[in-house]
Structure 1
Amino acid sequence: MEVSPLIWAITVAVVLALLAFDYFFHIRKAHVPSLKEAAIWSSLYVGIALVFGIVVLIFGGIDMGAEYFAGYITEKALSVDNLFVFLIIIASFRVPREDQQKVLLFGIVFSLIARTAFIFVGAALINQFAWVFYLFGLILLLTAGNLLKKDDDSDEANNFIIRIAKKLFHTTDTYDGDKLFTKVDGKKVLTPMLLVMVAIGGTDILFALDSIPAIFGLTQNVYIVFTATAFSLMGLRQLYFLLDGLLDRLIYLSYGLAAILAFIGVKLILHALHENNLPFVNNGEHVKVIEISTGFSLTVIIGVLVVTVLASLFSKAGKAQTAIGNLRRHAKSYNDLTYTADAGERERIYRALVAEEELVKTMEKKYRDKAKDVDKIREEVKEAHRQHDEYLKS
């Protein structure tokens, strides 16, 4: 199905309108979104994506609709994995809770721009060179391997872009609200807010290198690639706050994503063999191989994600890791006086800390002992209790 320029214009206008709405009605006034607010808006964005998919199904046919949903689900799963890295970056820069929404929205906008650029570059390459499918397939297989050996302790925020920025420009370690620049001793300097945006922007480019080959492995329709990618990013900010504290629970997500990317990588290579025109492969002739259908791909993607999520949620090791991870994060947040100026938010953090502490006590010792830096976590929790007691006395 050919998509007219008018449909393209309307689609782009809708995406821009959603981003503008998100900024002017949610981000401009710094605040900590409640769980209810995050749930409502996250559900709304998912609903918009599903309605759009139904429209594609009706007007574009079953194949086009299946391609959209396969692409959307894959990109959404990858975007959830991206949230882990965002969490590391935001924690590394100690971004105040009230200003995290602005950082996340910037990340979403930059990601959309980067991925759109890669989409059109990828489409141009595919139209001119069939061998690009081999390259995309290899990228996905390598990415799948990297996911399996991913180091959880890696500091994604300490990348070379940040190190260069700190060397070339005057920077400060303290925030000035959500300002990107501030003045220290009469000199204009960069705030950590600008640096964290640079860090997230840099990682977004790396995400696009994995994301775009994955969706091109499911469809070569540029309109479907763009819309599935755009709608998967919509609502990611709200999803961050909705899943806050649960991201650590998905301990097997990397394995599930590795399986999906490997599957799509194999699908791409099979397609490349089917369309082969490289002279050193089968003398430049097409290779007769099995082509994997979009319907089968959609079934595999959904199946792998369901198994991965259920295994993570019902795993005792997953529950322990989640509780301990949340306990560590809540203790750090409470002890860091720059984390939030909202007294209600600090009280919420403390209540969550106490609840996680009680939950950890009920777990089997073998699962608790798997946590790293146990003594350090205990000291941080002890300090949080001490600060809370002092707060109550004041």
Structure 2
Amino acid sequence: MEVTTLGWTVTLAVIAALFVLDLSVGALRPHAVGFREATVWSVFYIAVAVVFGLVLGMQYGWGYGGEYFTGYIVEKSLSIDNLFVFVIIMTTFAVPKEYQQKVLTIGILLALIMRAIFIAVGATLLSMFTFMFLIFGLLLLWTALQVYRHRNEDPDIADNVLVRTSRRLFTVTDEYVGAKFTTRVDGKRAVTPLFLVLLAIGGTDLLFALDSIPAIFGITEQAYIVFVANAFALLGLRALYFLVTGLLDRLVYLATGLAIILAFIGVKLVLHWAHGIWPAAPEISTPLSLAVIVVVLAVTTIASLMKSRRDPSAKAHSATVMGHKKDRPGTPEDEAPRA
């Protein structure tokens, strides 16, 4: 797949324009987002992603189009799991609703920048060393195992190294100061709790990027498709957060479903590496990958809703492999500030 400089330029310009639009809505005009607004923006971003995939398929062929849609679904599924951690962060730090979308939008922008860096590094490594497919595959298998082990636990936000380090380095105000990240206390520069929230989200984004980039390279080796699938999956995350926040607790089997998907893609990467050494080794096609991922997500969602209906006390948990509460008890200095 050869994407011209003009093609990259137009793609980056469209994505940048969409992020500027999202930033103007989320950061420059702080307000509490209602259900109707969240629905409209969520539908808009999904529609843009679908249209882009159709254009890509018509331009480069439906083989690449299939890789894009498969990668987009995988990244969208993993980004929904991001929302679990975002909800925990917002709750832990008692972030006022009118400031939540500002920090979300900036955090998502940071996530895209970090993923772009990982994509460039990953594509370079894969082009230079074929055994990186094996490394990525084993990494995803390990991640899947950890996700399954911790499927009934919530991450410990206080264990975020960036948050703990910032508490030691900076003076943190007890109260939020509007939507500001920094302020002055007695003439000295200090950071607000919103700054800690941004660090927590940024650190979480970094951890998720370590999982999501190897996962999508298991779908396609095309750096362009990897980038656009990630970009469009992240673009609608701010609106999706406000749309599904109240529904996330009902997806009780999502962590299990994501563990299965990550394990499946890990096996796919290992087989792809093995095929390059032993041609008789089977490979998993993109259409089969798409079918497996869709079926797993559908079964996971239906089973979760049925479980929630039978047992209203059942609660979903994040699939992140970051620190968990049972692994590390919180200490007084790690406790989040109260607004």
Same fold (TM over 0.5): yes
Instruction: Indicate the residue corresponding to 1:311 in structure 2.
Output: 303
Contact 1:31/1:99 (CA < 8 Å) preserved in 2?
yes
Structure with max Cα Rg? 1
Whole-angstrom CA distance in 2 between matches of 1:141 and 1:26: 36
Deviations 1:278-334 (A, max 9, x none): xxxxxxxx3521111000000001010011011111224676136899xxxxxxxxx
Secondary structure of 1:275's counterpart equals helix
Asked if residue 75 in structure 1 is aligned to residue 75 in structure 2, the reply is yes
Q: Which amino acid aligns with 1:5?
A: T
Q: Which amino acid aligns with 1:294?
A: T
Q: Which amino acid aligns with 2:299?
A: V
Whole-angstrom CA distance in 1 between matches of 2:269 and 2:217: 8
Whole-angstrom CA distance in 1 between matches of 2:87 and 2:54: 33
Give the CA deviation at 1:173. 2.3
> Which aligned pairs between 1:145-294 and structure 2 lie closer than 5 A?
145-150=145-150, 152-276=153-277, 286-294=278-286
Q: Closer, same or farther in 2 for the Cα pair 1:251/1:315, shift >3 Å? A: same
Whole-angstrom CA distance in 2 between matches of 1:40 and 1:79: 19
Whole-angstrom CA distance in 2 between matches of 1:156 and 1:220: 34
Whole-angstrom CA distance in 1 between matches of 2:222 and 2:315: 43
Deviations 1:74-123 (A, max 9, x none): 00000001110111111111111110001111121011001110001000
Instruction: Indicate the residue corresponding to 1:142 in structure 2.
Output: 142
Q: Which has the higher contact order (CA 8 A, sep 6+)?
A: 2
Instruction: Indicate the residue corresponding to 1:22 in structure 2.
Output: 22
Q: Which amino acid aligns with 2:251?
A: L
Deviations 1:244-276 (A, max 9, x none): 110111000011111111000000000011123
Give the CA deviation at 1:72. 0.2
Instruction: Indicate the residue corresponding to 1:387 in structure 2.
Output: none
Gaps in structure 2 of 5+ consecutive residues: 318-337
Q: Closer, same or farther in 2 for the Cα pair 1:34/1:319, shift >3 Å? A: farther
Query: Identity percentage over the alignment?
Result: 52
Instruction: Indicate the residue corresponding to 2:329 in structure 1.
Output: none
Please tell me the root mean square deviation across aligned C-alpha atoms, in Å.
1.7
How many residues align? The count is 318
Give the CA deviation at 1:169. 1.5
Normalized against structure 2, the TM-score is what?
0.90
Whole-angstrom CA distance in 2 between matches of 1:319 and 1:165: 41
Runs of 4+ in 1 over 3 A off after TM superposition: 316-319, 321-325
Gaps in structure 1 of 5+ consecutive residues: 277-285, 326-337, 340-394
> Which aligned pairs between 1:364-383 and structure 2 lie closer than 5 A?
none
